[in-house]
Structure 1
Amino acid sequence: MPSSTQTLLVNGRKFTLDADPKMPVLWALRDLIGLTGTKFGCGAGLCGACTIHLDGKPVRGCLTSLSQVQGKQVTTIEGLEADKLKAQWLEHNVPQCGYCQAGQLMSAAALLASTPKPSEQQINEAMVGNICRCGTYPRIKAAIQAASEA
């Protein structure tokens, strides 16, 4: 992989990396910057474990290259400010194994930022593609609904 200088704005901080512009941002976040909250799951954008925000919109970090994030704000789970949502996540005992939780929270936070009072259908549509092997989907949905009412 030919490398070049890549500049990332992550969680409000600027990082300059010597990396291939085709590198998935997931690997830059985890391996080069040290932000390991964003998880690798399937590598094909299907499971949602690697969900980050790019200018406030949820994207899959495994499918998004460094060149695609140039000049844009990247937010990871470490920089997510969604206190009401996080509180409801705990109140509803959502986490079990925890592997999918960063991606689930990132998708849920993006939904609530764009649609503060989502319907059940909007929640379902926003969360599709975020896989939870522990099957906590009813608790995830309840936490999102409660956060929207808080």
Structure 2
Amino acid sequence: MAGSKYFNSYLHVNGEEREVHFRAADTLLTVIREELGLTGTKYGCGNGDCGACTVNVDGWPQKSCLMLAIEALDKEILTIEGLKFTPIQQAYVEKNAFQCGFCTPGFIMNAHSLLSLFPDADDETIQDWMESNICRCTSYQEMMEAFHSVKNQR
């Protein structure tokens, strides 16, 4: 594209330094999916409302459709692919905490951050955090059961 400024840089994703080529206007979501091929992070609404694109940046949940890739330089990025075999993923399976599965990666990333940052979170805090994501299939009860099963194991 004429006049577009491209950057060649590195992102630290899932414990690996990955070379990326992106425009200044590219979102982290676009780079994760299209440049790195990590398609577990989903494009949902594109405006931060649904949470399907949630990843962890320096341990905190971040809606990657709202963050520019250039803002993620020198930060630790964790996607759903980086959470292989974690207790929260296993709990989602055991509690059938998904139906279509489209929103599941975002919910799991959000829950993972909450469990890591605030392991003793009260019910109100848990509810507040989980309300930042949307499930159209309404698996909320099962998701809360999955979350509490992991929290209670700690």
Task: Spell out, residue by residue over 1:119-150, the C-alpha distance to the aligned partner (whole angstroms, 9 max, x if none).
Answer: 21111011112000000111111111111011
Residue 89 of structure 2 is aligned to residue 105 of structure 1: no
Report the secondary structure of 2:11's partner residue: strand
Give the corresponding residue for 1:27: 30
What value does the CA root-mean-square deviation take over the aligned residues?
1.2
For normalisation by structure 1, the TM-score amounts to: 0.95
8 Å CA contact 1:118, 1:145 repeated in 2? no
1:82–1:68 distance in 2 versus 1, CA, 3 Å? farther
8 Å CA contact 1:82, 1:109 repeated in 2? no
Unmatched 5+ residue regions in structure 2? none
Task: Spell out, residue by residue over 1:83-127, the C-alpha distance to the aligned partner (whole angstroms, 9 max, x if none).
Answer: 221221112111110000000000000000011132211110111
> In percent, how many aligned pairs have the same letter?
35
Give the corresponding residue for 2:65: 62
Q: 2:21 aligns with which of 18, 21, 32?
A: 18
- Alpha-carbon distance, 1:81 to partner: 5.2
After TM superposition, the runs of 4+ consecutive aligned structure 1 residues lying more than 6 A away are none
Report the secondary structure of 2:148's partner residue: helix
Report the secondary structure of 1:102's partner residue: helix
Unmatched 5+ residue regions in structure 1? none
Give the corresponding residue for 1:120: 123
Q: 2:39 aligns with which of 36, 40, 44?
A: 36
- Give the Cα separation in 2 of the matches to 1:44 and 1:53: 17
For normalisation by structure 2, the TM-score amounts to: 0.93
- Alpha-carbon distance, 1:56 to partner: 0.6
Please say which of residues 76-85 and 32-41 is displaced more in the overlay.
76-85
Work out the number of aligned pairs and report it.
150
Q: How does 1:77-92 map to 2 (within 5 A)?
A: 77-80=80-83, 83-92=86-95
- Give the Cα separation in 2 of the matches to 1:113 and 1:69: 20
Task: Spell out, residue by residue over 1:51-79, the C-alpha distance to the aligned partner (whole angstroms, 9 max, x if none).
Answer: 00001100001011111101001100000
